Amino acid sequence: MRNLPVVTKNLLLANVVIWLLDAWLRRYNIQLAEWFGLMNWSYSAFDSGFRSFQIWQPLTYMFMHADFSHLFCNMFAVLMFGPSLEREWGERKFLLYYIVCGLGAALVQELVWMAFMPTLPTVTIGASGAVFGILFAFGWLFPDVPLFIFFIPIPIRARIFVIVYAVIELFVGLGNVVGVTPGDNVAHFAHLGGMLFGWLLILCWQKGIFNGEWRERIHRDSDSREKGERDFSGYHYHKSE
């Protein structure tokens, strides 16, 4: 733990501490997920109780987990891929990316509920949306790094792994929506939402939208055009007959 970057370390600690607190409170029949899990916003119109959607839930849901295996899988991915991204981007940028992916996953999940399951009283918890954003970023920044997956004896390039994983999530998510896999309780579209918003944020960073570089680029282009016009304004032109 001493060798982990600070944001990765604190994300791991926060998720573990909250899970332990949740497990302890359940002994007293207190479910934190009822307050801090992501509730179906569309269902709130049919439910006047405290289990309705609340404004803080798109942030808090990503720190809640159903059981130890759920927590372990998500935090294992953060432990494996988070440090590389944090060292590449820095602490603030990595934390912003993690939160944006989690919020984007919540938004996509809410839109799917609104479109296909508006009257379903359901809740989503877990850091999977942010984790899938981390997986996408790792595949984007380190596309040729070989990954060894459980039960597969040969390495897979990070880029191929991310693409295959995204396609599987899409088909399974669509099967869940149309009722092909009705027993599936995984928020597949939240996973895809984390990837989508991670991709959009990376594109914005590359174009310098959030750090002012895009304004500087526009000014440079404008100054170059004006300078070019000034440079040629003193020239005399002769028509060629």
Any idea which of 18-22, 154-158, 233-237 has the lowest mean pLDDT?
A: 233-237
Q: Give pLDDT tens digits for 101-116.
A: 999 999 999 999 888 8
- Quote the DSSP letter at residue 149: P
pLDDT reported for residue 176: 74
Assign 216 a pLDDT band (cuts: 50, 70, 90).
Answer: low
Residue ranges and CATH numbers for the domains of the chain are 6-229 (1.20.1540.10)
d(CA 162, CA 31): 34
CA-CA distance, 205 to 100, in Å (whole number)?
A: 13
Please choose, from the candidates 85, 83, 102, 104, the residue with its C-alpha nearest in 3D space to the C-alpha of residue 93.
85
Burial per residue of 117-152, b for 16 or more beta-carbon CB atoms within 10 angstroms, e otherwise: eeeeeebbbbbbbbbbbbbbbbbbebeebebeeeee
Separation in Å, CA 195 to CA 70, 84, 114, 209: 19, 17, 20, 19
Residue 116 confidence (pLDDT): 84
Average pLDDT of the chain, as a whole number? 83
Closest to 37 measured CA to CA, from 85, 70, 82, 84: 70
pLDDT at 56: 93
Task: Tell me what pLDDT residue 211 has.
Answer: 66
Please give the pLDDT value at position 138: 95
Query: CA torsion angle for 213, 219, 225, 228 (degrees, to 10)?
Result: -100
pLDDT above 70 for 213: no
User: Mean of the pLDDT values across residues 174-196?
Assistant: 78
**CA 49, chain centre distance (Å):** 30
The four Cα atoms 125, 128, 134, 140 give a dihedral, to 10 degrees, of -130
Exposed/middle/buried for residue 186 (C-beta within 10 Å: 0-12, 13-18, 19+): middle
Confidence of residue 238 (pLDDT cuts 50, 70, 90): very low
Q: What is the pLDDT of residues 43-96, one digit of tens each?
A: 765 555 546 788 999 999 999 998 999 999 999 999 999 999 999 999 999 999
- Over residues 5-10, the mean pLDDT reads 96
Note the pLDDT of residue 212: 54
Q: How confident is the model at residue 179 (pLDDT cuts 50, 70, 90)?
A: low
